[in-house]
Every structure is written in C-alpha cells, then in structure tokens.
C-alpha cells in the first residue's frame, strides 16, 4: 500500500505489481501508454517513465522500441526477497566438495546472502524432499549439483515449478539434459578427449575405461574418449569399458571384482578412470593382484583431488576448478537474481597435471 508521503511514482509501481499478481496483466500484455498512465494517475510522463524503469530493471516489464512496454514476467512480483540461497550438493565433507562449498559461501557472504546447505547423497528422493522444502520456505536462488544426472530426471516437475516461480537456478558439476538451466562445470567431454589424446601420444592404443553411468559426467568423459579414439582410427572396445553406479561403490573392494576387472582389461596398456577416487581404488586393487603402476598399466583420471597425491602412485589427472567453480556459480547466480541479461553457463577447459601414473611405451 502506498503511503500519503511516498513519491508519486510508487503509486503506479504498486498498481502495476498488484495487477500482475492478480492476473489482470498477463505475460506479453501491452501496458497502457505513458500518456494514458499519466492521465490516469495525474502524473507527468517523466514520472511514469521512472516507475516503469524500476519494474523493467526487476524483469517485470520489457520495453520494445517503437511498440510500447509489455509484461515480461508474471511470477517474480510474488517472490519475497529472503537474502538466502539454496545450495544443494551430492556430498559434503570430503573429496572436492569442501572447496566448492567454500567458494560459493565466500561470494554469497561478501554480497550479504546466507546459504541454506543441503546434501542429497546422490539419491533422487533426497533431492525431491530438499527442493520441495526450498520451494515452500522460499529462497532467492538455487545452486544445485543434480542427482543421478545421467538417468531420467524424476524431479522434472519440481524444476518446472522453480521456473514458473521465476527462481534463478544454476547447476554445478553436471546438468539434466532435458532442462535449460545454466550450469558451471568442467568441460568433461573435452577432458575425455584430452585424456585419450595424451595416452595415444605416449603410444597406448588399447585403452580401457571405468566410468560412472548414473551421472552425466561419466557419459561425457566416456564420449570424449571414445569419439576422439574413433576419429583417430582407434576404438575403445565395449569389452574394455566398465560402467558402475553410486550404489556399486562397495564392489571396488571385493575380490570378485578384482578378477572381473583383470579379465575386462586384458591386453590393455592403460585405463582412463572416472575420477581420482576410482583411480585410487583401482591402484590398490591391481597392486594386490600383482600389477604395477605404471609398469604394467598406466592410469589417468580426473579432479586432481587430495587422493591424486595421497595414493600409492601419484596420479596423472585433470584439475577440477573446485573453489573457482563455486565462486563462478555463486557470482553468476547473483547476476541472474539482478535480472542481468547474462550467459551464465561456464565450462572450464581441461588442465592436465602430470605425475607418475602414465608411462610412454
């Protein structure tokens, strides 16, 4: 409600907002002209322009040169400002996640925002529960690492609701292929290509791979490897590729898997591992089976985590941007909240860290 001593333009601002909320004005409706609004509210065209410029900066109105001013959003007027950002990751206290979260928190804190942090443990039902709670309680934006992004998106209805409510959302590390939200991640396809190229340059031609099937990063890293090899006259044979899911992680400690692995990689001189965590497990498993790294098998992986230097053999691996990824995601989300016209997707180029796990044949 406009108070008696408020500036005159606020009466018009609140009048337009109320009609958007009530549905009297819908998306793509043309606003009355500046002359018409000036006459209705007994204010000058300059004051009308002041009011509509405020709503234009909020994304509620859009001015079209030579045509007029139109309703651009019917949702954002209803969203209360909370100064809180929902941050959802698959895991929290190990591997690359503390650095990512620290990067996000640094940017949000510097800009006066708090963080609602939730963890899915890469379980679809947890993502569903967390998103529903954030939609109910209200946040100004969401940064989320999608759960099982390599599988059909079971929570598409909740993401559709996020879009309807005009809540800015950015994915990190991966994304759902059926959604148009921006994302900030490694260029996983390019990393896969670079891994294959690096091994071939070191005379490896029979290359095995271990990839995660329920996250899109695994699909992209495999695709990059396999397509580069095919383009250069080589093949990553299906019999040499092992796929696993989040729930399969315990198998890497089982003796039966060791035998299966040795059978699948027979004849190969190198293995591309989904990430450092898997590479460290494979090193341990192979060494228990009498295989030496890199003398018998070369290994290359992704993420440049602490595991890459703390495992038995220092890993050749591609760097994950970690804190820089978190900072980029948070900074871009805040720009979207301000209604800036901004291409918020960022893909970090491959950056190889050479250590001791690959040899030249």
- The model's pLDDT over 68-85, given as tens digits with 9 standing for 90+, comes to 898 886 555 445 568 899
C-alpha–C-alpha distance, residues 299 and 313, integer Å: 10
Q: What is the mean pLDDT of residues 42-69?
A: 86
Q: Give the C-alpha separation, 70 to 333, whole Å.
A: 25
Nearest to 191 by CA among 332, 57, 349: 349
Q: For 230-260, what is each residue's pLDDT tens digit?
A: 999 999 999 999 999 999 999 998 888 999 9
Q: What single-letter DSSP state applies at residue 30?
A: B
Give the model's confidence band at 19: pLDDT under 50 very low, under 70 low, under 90 confident, else very high.
confident
Residue range 294-312: mean pLDDT, rounded? 95
Q: What is the pLDDT of the chain when averaged over all its residues?
A: 92
User: Where does residue 126 fall: left (phi above 0), alpha (psi -120 to 50 degrees), or beta otherwise?
Assistant: alpha
- Residue 321: CB partners within 8 Å, gap ≥ 6? 186, 328, 348
pLDDT at 322: 97
User: Looking at residue 80, what is its pLDDT?
Assistant: 59
Partners of 301 in the beta sheet? 317
Domains in the chain and their CATH numbers?
8-77 (1.10.10.10), 82-186+323-348 (3.40.50.2300), 188-319 (3.40.50.2300)
pLDDT band, very low/low/confident/very high, at 206 (cuts 50, 70, 90): very high
- The mean pLDDT value for 10-14 works out to 86
**pLDDT given at position 328:** 98
Is residue 209 helix, strand or coil?
strand
SS3 64: strand
User: How far is 58 from 340, CA to CA, in rounded Å?
Assistant: 9
**pLDDT of amino acid 161:** 87
Rounded to an integer, what distance in angstroms lies between the CA atom of residue 32 and that of residue 99? Answer: 51
Query: How much is the pLDDT for 79?
Result: 58
Would you call 62 exposed, middle or buried from its count of C-beta atoms within 10 A (0-12, 13-18, 19+)? middle
- Given a cut of 60, whether residue 288 has pLDDT beyond it is yes
pLDDT of residue 73: 65
Encode pLDDT of 140-170 as tens digits.
999 999 999 999 999 999 999 898 888 999 9
Cα separation, 236 vs 183, in Å, equals 29
**Statement: the pTM of the whole predicted model exceeds 0.85:** no
For the record, the structure tokens of 241 come out as 């590729």
How far apart, in Å, are the Cα atoms of 114 and each of 45, 65, 142, 250, 256? 40, 39, 12, 36, 47
Specify the range with the lowest mean pLDDT, choosing from 76-80, 116-120, 176-180, 332-336.
76-80
Task: Give the Cα separation of 31 and 61 in Å (integer).
Answer: 9
């Amino acid at each position: 409600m406009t108070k008696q001593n408020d500036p005159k333009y606020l009466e018009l601002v609140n009048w337009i907002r109320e009609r958007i909320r009530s549905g009297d004005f819908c998306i793509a409706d043309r606003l009355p002209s500046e002359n018409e609004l000036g006459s209705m509210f007994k204010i000058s065209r300059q004051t009308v322009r002041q009011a509509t410029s405020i709503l234009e900066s909020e994304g509620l109105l859009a001015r079209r040169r030579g045509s007029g001013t139109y309703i651009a959003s019917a949702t954002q007027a209803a969203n209360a400002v909370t100064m809180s950002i929902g941050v959802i990751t698959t895991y929290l206290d190990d591997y690359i996640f503390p650095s990512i979260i620290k990067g996000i928190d640094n940017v949000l804190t510097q800009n006066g925002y708090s963080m609602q942090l939730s963890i899915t443990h890469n379980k679809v039902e947890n993502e569903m529960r967390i998103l529903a709670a954030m939609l109910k309680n209200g946040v100004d934006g969401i940064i989320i690492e999608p759960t099982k992004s390599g599988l059909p998106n079971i929570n598409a209805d909740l993401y559709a609701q996020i879009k309807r409510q005009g809540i800015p959302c950015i994915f990190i590390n991966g994304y759902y292929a059926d959604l148009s939200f921006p994302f900030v991640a490694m260029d996983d396809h390019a990393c896969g290509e670079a891994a294959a190229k690096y091994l071939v340059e070191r005379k490896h031609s029979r290359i095995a791979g271990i990839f995660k099937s329920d996250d899109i990063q695994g699909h992209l890293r495999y695709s990059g490897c396999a397509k580069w090899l095919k383009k250069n006259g080589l093949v990553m044979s299906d019999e040499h590729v092992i796929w696993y899911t989040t729930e399969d992680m315990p198998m890497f400690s089982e003796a039966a898997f060791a035998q299966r692995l040795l059978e699948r990689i027979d004849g190969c001189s190198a293995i591309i591992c989904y990430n450092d965590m898997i590479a460290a497990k494979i090193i341990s498993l192979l060494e228990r089976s009498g295989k030496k790294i890199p003398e018998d098998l070369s290994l290359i992986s992704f993420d440049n985590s602490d595991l890459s230097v703390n495992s038995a053999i220092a890993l050749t691996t591609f760097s994950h941007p970690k804190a820089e990824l978190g900072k980029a995601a948070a900074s871009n989300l805040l720009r979207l909240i301000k209604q800036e016209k901004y291409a918020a997707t960022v893909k970090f180029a491959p950056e190889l860290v050479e250590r001791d796990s690959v040899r030249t044949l």
